[in-house]
Amino acid sequence: MGPSEQTTPPATAVPPQRHPKAPPPGTTLGAHYARCFACGDEHETGLRLQMTVQEGVAVRCEFTVTEHHMGAPGLAHGGVLASALDEALGSLAWLMLTPAVTGRLEVDYLTPVPVGRTVVIDARCTGVDGRKVYVEGVGRLDDEDGTVAIRGAGLFVAVPYEHFARHGGREEDTLPGRFNP
């Protein structure tokens, strides 16, 4: 399967443009929030994803599945895999310096992911239509040429910086780390 109609850029979409102030390829993006389950370095059992900027509007990250990430005995929980993909897809907005939130996430699970295996996720932006940001990603086992374990697509919606403070709760927890202009 591929992206659905809801996550495929319409004919009116334009190619994504990396912002001139975006970090160059090879740069590692820091966490957008230190206690984020997916990218935070202060979450004890989190994934601690670090995005490495690729050419275009694209990133690569990886994580190793631990016993904290299990669903069935010895296997990664599907929600954890979806969280990792969602984080990678959402980080693409940083390259356009456009904060955005997940509007729709589609995930295809193609093979089980055992504890101890590494998932390498490549994500890229496929188009922008107004506030809508269209993205796709693939997660492979062990390296960038490994067996495809998950594949997904998403629709993200650009929001103002204030969105996170208004809806997030405590002010000290909602400051947008990656998005400090």
Nearest to 19 by CA among 57, 45, 52, 46: 57
Residue 174 above 60 pLDDT?
Answer: no
* Residue 22, CA distances (Å) to 17, 25, 149, 164 in order: 10, 9, 30, 21
Domains and CATH numbers, the chain: 12-170 (3.10.129.10)
The model's pLDDT over 26-60, given as tens digits with 9 standing for 90+, comes to: 999 888 778 888 878 888 887 888 899 999 999 99
The model's pLDDT over 112-131, given as tens digits with 9 standing for 90+, comes to: 999 999 999 999 999 999 99
Distance of alpha carbon 75 from alpha carbon 41, whole angstroms: 23
Q: How confident is the model at residue 168 (pLDDT cuts 50, 70, 90)?
A: low
Tell me how far the alpha carbon of residue 125 is from its chain's centroid: 11
Structure tokens at 103: 């509007």
Q: Are 39 and 32 in contact (CB under 8 A)?
A: yes
Q: Are 153 and 2 in contact (CB under 8 A)?
A: yes
Region 153-166: what's the mean pLDDT?
Answer: 79
